[in-house]
Structure 1
Amino acid sequence: MPRSPGRDKPADHYAHLHANFRWQVPAQFNMAEVCCRRWAATPALGRETALIAEGPNAPARHHSRAELAEAANRLSNLLRGLGVQRGDRVAIVLPQRFETAVAYMAVLQLGAVGMPLSQLFGPEALAFRLQDSEAVVAICDEATLANVLSVRAECPALRQVLGVGAAGASADIDWGTALAKVQSRFELVPTLADDPAVLIYTSGTTGNPKGALIPHRALIGNLTGFVCSQNWFGFDPWDASVKSDAVFWSPADWAWTGGLMDALLPSLYFGRPIVGYNGRFTPEVAFELMQRHGVTHSFLFPTALKAMMKAVPKPRGRYRLKLQALMSAGEAVGDAVFAYCREQLGVTVNEMFGQTEINYIVGNCSRLWPAKPGSMGKGYPGHRVAVIDDDGNECPVGVPGDVAVHRLDAHGQPDPIFFLGYWKNEVATRGKYTGDPASSWCRTGDMATRDADGYLWYQGRADDVFKSSGYRIGPSEIENCLVKHPAVANAAVVPKPDAERGALVKAYVVLAAGFDGSPSLVVELQKHVKGQLAPYEYPKEIEFIDALPMTTTGKVQRRVLRLREEELALKSSRS
C-alpha cells in the first residue's frame, strides 16, 4: 500500500496516494489461497478465529482458520469425487453461516467457479440462473433446498444437490456425513489471476439478469477500496507493525457482491474475524450484534442506516459500540444519515460506489482525505475514474454524465478490478465499453457530476433521471430531503407522466412509526422540500406506501414504480 509522506499527517493524502500507487498482480493467484490456506499453514495463526457464526436460535460459535481450511479441503475432495472440474459452476445457495465460507473456499481452491444465489430467490429466479449457468452441483440448507428441488427437473446440468444441516436428509448428499468420509488434505489447483472465480448474476432491475464472470485478480482490485472505505481496517497506514484489532460484520448477503467482495473475502484476506448472522435484519439486532462481538468495522446499506436512525436515534445511550469505520453503498446516503453516523455512531460514514462488474471503484476514506456529506467520493487509488458523455469524452465540472472506469490506471497499467465479461453474452459485454477494446472506458450506467475538487455526486441510474418542465431531476436529492422529516422512514421519487410538463415529480413515502398519512401531512412534506431545494424539485404528488419495492441487494426499484405510473397514465388516457 502507498506510504505516508511523513508522520505529520496533513488533512488530505488523496493526491499522494493516487499518484504513487502501483498494482502488483502475480501471474498465478487464487482467492482461497490468500483468504484461507496461507493463514492455516501456520499452527499459531490457524488457531485464530476466522468466522463467528450466530443465529436467532443458535448461540455464537467461533470457527478457527484451521477449521475453515480443513472443512474446505474435505469439501474440495468431495466435489472432485462428484466429477466437478476446473471451470465448472457450483451453485452456493446459502445464507450467512460457516458452511457458506467453507463452500467458497472449497470451490475456489478446486479451480471451479462459485455461483452465489440468494436465499431470497423463488423458484423462477433460481431456475433461470441454474439453467443459464449450467451449474453441475448446488449446495443448499433447510431454507433454500425446497425451492432448488422444485426446479431441478428444469436444470438438466444439475447432477447433485448437497444438503447442509437439516437439509441433508432430503438432499442427494448429506453435507456432514459425506465430509466425514473424505480426506482432510487437498492440494490447491493452480489458477491464473485471469481465471474465472465467481459468477454473480446482476439484480436484473432491467431485463433478464446477466451473469458477470469475476476473475481471481478482482479481489486484488477490491483491496484499495476496502481498506480506504474501512479507514485502513484497524491497521495504521504509517506503522505496519501495528496489529489490527478489527472485527467485521455486515448484513449484506454473501450471495451478492456487497456481501462477498466487500465483506467476507476481504475480511478473510486480512485475517480478521467476520460475524455471520443467519437471521433477519432489524435495527435492534444490528446494534446488539455490534455490541456483543465488539464490531469495529461494518458495511451498512443506506436503507439499513435509515431504519437504524429512525428506530434508535441515540444508540450510544443504549449500546456500547466500538465502531472505527463504516462504509455504505447501494444508494446515496444523504446528509441526514451522514450526520446521524457522525454524531450518534461516532464515525464518519465512508460512501462507496461500485457494481458487480467493476466493484469498489469510487469512495471516501475519512481517515486519509476529507469526506463531503452526500458525495460518492473520488476514484480509489489504482482506478482511473471519470464522468463521461455519450461519446466517451470527460464531462466538465458540474455537468452530469456516466461514471466510468478506464481499463488502464493512471500509470498506463491494466486495472485488475474488471470482470471477464457477461456469461454467454458477448454483445452485452461489448456494449459495456466505449472506445478501443484494449484501452477503453467501462460504463457503469450510473449518472453523477464532478465538482472542482474531484468529488463525484450521485444523480441516479441513467434510467432513473428524468426531466420535468425542462429541468433535469435526480431523485436522490429529493429522497434525501424527504427522509430528513421525522414522519418519513424512506422515500422513492419517480416521474409521473404529464401532458404539459412531460412529467411531474412524484414521491412514494414510507411513514415512520407513529405517523399517519393525511392531506395535511402531504402539504407539510411538500413545504419541507420547497424550503430546502429548488422550486421545481418538490413532489407535486405524494403517495403513502407500506414498503418500497427493493432488490435483494437492498436497492430501491424505482423502475417498478415508474412503470406503475406509466400504466396508470395509459389507463387514464383510454378512459
Structure 2
Amino acid sequence: MLGKYLEKIEFSSYDDFVNDYKIKVPDNFNFAFDVVDKYAEEEPEKTAIVWCNDEGEEETFTFKELRDYSNQTANYFRALGIKKGDAVMLILKRRFEFWFSILALHKIGAICIPATHLLTEKDIVYRNNAADIKMIVAVGEEEVLQNIDKAAVKSPGLLKKVMLNGCRDGWHVFNEEIKGYSSSFNRPQGDSAISNDDIMLIYFTSGTTGMPKMVQHNFVYPLGHLITAKYWQNVRNNGLHLTVADTGWAKAVWGKLYGQWLVGSAVFVYDYNTRFNATDLLGMIEKYRVTTFCAPPTIYRFFIKSDLSKFDLSSLEYCVVAGEPLNPEVYNRFLEETGLELREGYGQTELTVTLGTFPWMDVKPGSMGKPAPGYNIELHDREGNVCGVGEEGEIVIRTDRQKPLGMFGGYYRDKELTQRVWHDDMYYTGDVAWRDEDGYYWFVGRADDVIKSSGYRIGPFEIESALIEHSSVLECAITAVPDEIRGQIVKASIVLAKGYQASKKLARELQDYVKKITAPYKYPRIIEFVDELPKTISGKIRRVEIRAKDN
C-alpha cells in the first residue's frame, strides 16, 4: 500500500527525510474506496480493528468486514436522505459503529462531523445551525439523547436522528434498520462523483476563547497522516496501534484510522465507559499485545504512578506523546521502567504532525522535535520579525512555496476568521515556541497565555511542569495577574492531590520548589488552591476564565 502513495519509503537521516519525502496524490482519492476496499480486495482477512470494552465484550473486524459494513451503512444513510455534501454529526464515543459510519459518509461524499458525547444542548444547537447538520448518529445514552432532542427543536435543518440501539420516539435505530441493506455500494459517478477538493471532514475546535471554529479538511487529508503514523508513531504493517482518544476529537483520526491503515497496522480500541483507569489500560496493552502507543503526557504520568512491574509491556515497540509539553521527569521514569524513549510531536486540528521527534533524531525530553516534511516553519516576534536561536516567537507556517498536504482548507463558512490567521501566505498558529542551536523546537504556550513580568516573557508550561513534579499537586494552571510595579505577576491555581491540605506553609514550599527547578524570577508570587480548574469540553484548561476573574 505504501508504495502506491510514497515515492520513497525508507530514509537514512532526518535531512534525507525532509528533502526526499514525497506523496503521490491520485486524482479523486477516497480513503474508503482506495484504502479500505482495496485491502478488502487484496487481503480480505487482514485485521483492521481490535475492539473491546470494560464489560468483557470484544470484536475483531477484517478489512473485508469493514468494507461490507460500511457499504451497508452507506446504503442505509442514503435511504435516510443523505447525499453528497450533506453534513452528518457522529456522537459515537468509542463504539465500532463509528468506523462503519465515517467510512460510509466518505463513500457517499457527505461531510462527517465527529463530536463528543459531552456536548450540551447549547453546544449541539450551535453546531447544527452553524454547519447545517442534516443528521445525527449517536450512542443510546439517555443524557446524550435528551440533549439532542432538546437541541432539535431549535435546529430547523436537522432532519434525522439515529441511535445505535433502543427505542425512542422520533428516532431511527441503526443496528435494527441497517440489516436489510445491501453490502455492495458502487463508487459515485457523474454529478455525485467526489473530487480531492470536496470537504470530507469538519471539526469544531474547542478553543479556550470564543465559539468553536469549524476546521475543514478535504479528501486528500488522510494522506497527510502518513507522516503521523509511519514516521512519528512508527506503526508497522500487521502491528496493533493504540492512540488514547475518543472519536469525538481530531486525535482519533490521527491515531485510530487514516495513517495506521495506510501503513497496514490494525488499530486497537478500548471502549471504556467508566473513568480512565491506568491499570485497566495497562492490562489491555498487555493482554492484546499492543505494539505502538500514543497518548498525552497525563496518561504517562498516571502510568508511572502505577506499578509498571506488574505488567508485561514487552510487546510495545514505540511510544509517542503529544497534547502538552512533556515533563522530563515523566520521560526519565518511563524510560527506566520500560526501556522506551517517549518521542514528542506537535500539531493542531488544522494540521497534521507539524513538528516531531522522528526516528533518525536524538530525543531531547520536553522538545517537540523538528519540522515535518512540507512544513516551512518560522518563529515571529510581536513585530513580525523572524526570531533567531533561543528567541521566543509565534509558530508560523509559510505556504508560499507549498501548502503542506493535510493542512486545513480554512474555517468553514468564515472567510474573515480564516483571513485573520492565514494571510500573506503565512498561517499563524497562535502557539509560542523557541528553537535551540540544533534546530529543535520547545513549546512555551499559547500567545495569549505568555506572561510579561518586569520585562521577562514567562511561558506557563515550564512553571506548570515544575509544579506537577511536586507530590502535592494533582493539576495546576499558570496565569498572569495585573501588577502596578511589574506589569504582570505569575499566579498558580492548584488542585491538590489526595492527602494534602491547603496552607500558607505548603504555598511557600511550592514557591521554593519552583525556584529550584526554574529561574527564580518565574516562581508564582500568588498561589490559589482550588477544587477544580475551568476546562473546555475537550479537557483543555480555560486560562482565559481564570484571568477574567483576576482582572
Partner residue of 2:277? 282
Residue deviations 1:330-375 (CA, integer Å, cap 9, x gap): 211121222123222332112111111122111112x321121111
* Residues 103-118 of structure 1 aligned to structure 2 (within 5 Å): 103-118=101-116
Query: Is residue 357 of structure 2 the alignment partner of residue 364 of structure 1?
Result: yes
Residue equivalent to 1:351? 344
Which residues of 2 match residues 410-449 of structure 1 at below 5 A?
412-435=401-424, 440-449=425-434
> What SS does the corresponding residue of 1:127 show, helix, strand or coil?
helix
Selected match of 1:126 from 103, 124, 133: 124
3-state SS of the aligned residue for 2:256? helix
1:203 counterpart residue number: 206
| CA pair 34-352 structure 1, distance change in 2 beyond 3 A | farther
1:527 and 1:294 map into 2 onto residues whose CA distance is: 43
List alignment gaps of at least 5 residues for structure 1: 7-12, 235-243, 567-575
RMSD of the alignment, in Å? 1.9
Q: Secondary structure at the match of 1:553?
A: coil
Is the CA contact 1:488–1:509 (under 8 Å) kept in the aligned structure 2?
yes
State the match for 1:10 in structure 2.
none
How far residue 151 of structure 1 moved from its aligned partner, in angstroms, is 0.9
CA change 1:392–1:441 in 2 (3 A) is farther
Deviations 1:94-153 (A, max 9, x none): 101110111100001111110111111111111111111111111011123222112111
Distance in 1 (alpha carbons) for counterparts of 2:385 and 2:97: 47
- CA distance in structure 1 between the partners assigned to 2:278 and 2:194 by the alignment: 41
CA distance in 1, matches of 2:32, 2:351: 20
1:454 partner letter: G
Verify the 8 A CA contact 1:464 1:474 in the aligned structure 2: yes
Counterpart of 1:555 in 2: which secondary structure? coil
Structure 1 stretches (4+) deviating beyond 6 angstroms?
Answer: none
Task: Name the SS of the counterpart of 2:448 in structure 1.
Answer: coil
Q: What does 1:397-412 correspond to in 2, within 5 Å?
A: 397-407=389-399, 412=401
**Corresponding residue of 1:227:** 230
Give how far 1:472 is off.
0.8
Q: 2:32 is aligned with what amino acid?
A: A
The question of whether the paired residues in 2 share the 8 Å contact of 1:213 and 1:420 is answered with yes
Equivalent-residue separation in structure 2 for 1:265 and 1:15 (angstroms) = 25
Quote the offset at 1:407 in angstroms: 2.0
Task: Give the aligned partner of residue 462 of structure 2.
Answer: 477
The residue type paired with residue 355 of structure 1 is Q
Contact 1:357 1:418 in 2 (8 A): yes
Structure 2, unmatched stretches of 5+, are 1-5
In 1: Cα distance, 2:486 partner to 2:11 partner: 55
Deviations 1:238-290 (A, max 9, x none): xxxxxx34211222121111112333332233332212222232212221221
Partner of 2:477: 492
- Corresponding residue for residue 22 of structure 1: 22
Alignment match, 1:537: 522
- 1:384 shift after superposition: 1.6
Q: Give 3-state SS (helix, strand or coil) of 2:493's partner.
A: strand
**What is the distance in 2 between the residues matched to 1:170 and 1:540?**
57
Displacement of 1:26: 1.9
Asked whether the 8 Å contact 2:235–2:265 carries over to 1, the reply is no
AA partner of residue 300 (structure 2)? L
Cα displacement string for residues 467-506 of structure 1 (whole angstroms, at most 9, x for unaligned residues): 1222111011111111122222332111122222222211
What is the 5 A alignment of 1:97-176?
A: 97-143=95-141, 144-166=144-166, 168-170=167-169, 172-176=171-175
**Aligned partners of 1:277, 1:416: CA distance in 2, in Å?**
30
Compute the displacement of 1:422 (Å). 0.9
Map Cα deviations across residues 42-91 of structure 1 (whole Å, 9 max, x no partner): 3xx22232212222224222122222211110111111122212111011
2: distance between equivalents of 1:433 and 1:110?
31
Match of 1:514 among 499, 505, 518: 499
8 A Cα contact 2:242 2:255, kept in partner: no
Aligned CA distance change for structure 1 residues 407 and 4 (closer, same or farther; 3 Å):
same
After TM superposition, the structure 1 stretch with the greater mean CA deviation from structure 2, 513-522 or 174-183, is 513-522
Conservation of the 8 A alpha-carbon contact between 1:402 and 1:448: yes
Deviations 1:191-244 (CA, angstroms, capped at 9, x unpaired)? 2222211010111321011111111112212221332221x313xxxxxxxxx3
Rounded Cα–Cα distance in structure 1 between residues aligned with 2:383 and 2:484: 31
Partner of 2:3: none
> What is the distance in 2 between the residues matched to 1:149 and 1:552?
20
**TM-aligned CA deviation for residue 319 of structure 1:** 4.2
Give 1:295's aligned residue: 290
Q: Compute the TM-score of the two structures, normalised by the length of structure 2.
A: 0.93
Aligned-partner residue type, residue 415 of structure 1: P
1:61 equivalent in alignment to 2:50: no
How far is the alpha carbon of 1:391 from its aligned partner? Answer: 5.6
Secondary structure at 1:463's aligned position in 2? Answer: helix
CA contact (8 A) 2:208 2:540 kept: no
Distance 1:201 1:562 in 2: 24
Corresponding position of 1:501: 486
Question: How many pairs align?
Answer: 537
* Cα distance, 1:363–1:51 mapped onto 2, change above 3 Å: same
Q: 2:301 aligns with which of 285, 306, 315?
A: 306
